[in-house]
Structure 1
Amino acid sequence: MNDRTDLLEERLAYAMRTLDDLSDTVARQDREIARLTARVEMMLQREATRESEGTGGIVLGDERPPHY
């Protein structure tokens, strides 16, 4: 019976370690997603500002340059 208890304790310890590792991974990914989401929001705001100011636009090949 003692061998069985030892085996169960060993498996439980391994499962708890795996759970802690997975929890750390999920927390790290959550921070990364939050950081990336903030950067995308900042880029969208910057682009909206550019569009409203009329600067930084993309020149298409069939458009005339402004000096014509």
Structure 2
Amino acid sequence: MENPPHDLIAERVTELEIKSSYAEDLLDQLNMTIYRQQQQIDRLILQVTQLKEQMQSSGQDGAARNPRDELPPHY
């Protein structure tokens, strides 16, 4: 079995380095996407919490609603 020529090895190493670079870039992009999504989730959780607090402070817990309040204004 012969040793592969130096040029062939260098070419294969270069191809692997290119693939590795693309994989690294993709991983960075995916990490940034996950980071932004987590920030958005955190903001949404905060908004839901604030809405719940507003409903509780206004006395609307969802159970004690007057059906007349649900009618459209034209009735």
Distance 2:65 2:40 in 1: 30
Runs of 4+ in 1 over 2 A off after TM superposition: none
Q: Which letter does structure 1 place at the counterpart of 2:26?
A: T
Distance 1:34 1:47 in 2: 20
Structure 2 gap ranges (5+): 1-8, 69-75
Partner of 1:15: 23
Alignment of 1:18-57 (within 5 A): 18-51=26-59
**TM-score, structure 2 normalization:** 0.70
Distance 1:24 1:46 in 2: 33
1:20-57 CA distance string (max 9 Å, x none): 000000000000000000000000000011117xxxx7
Distance 1:50 1:12 in 2: 57
Percent identity over the alignment is 26
Count of residues paired in the alignment: 57
The structure with the largest alpha-carbon Rg is 2
Structure 1 gap ranges (5+): 62-68
Structure having greater relative contact order (Cα 8 Å, sep ≥ 6): 1
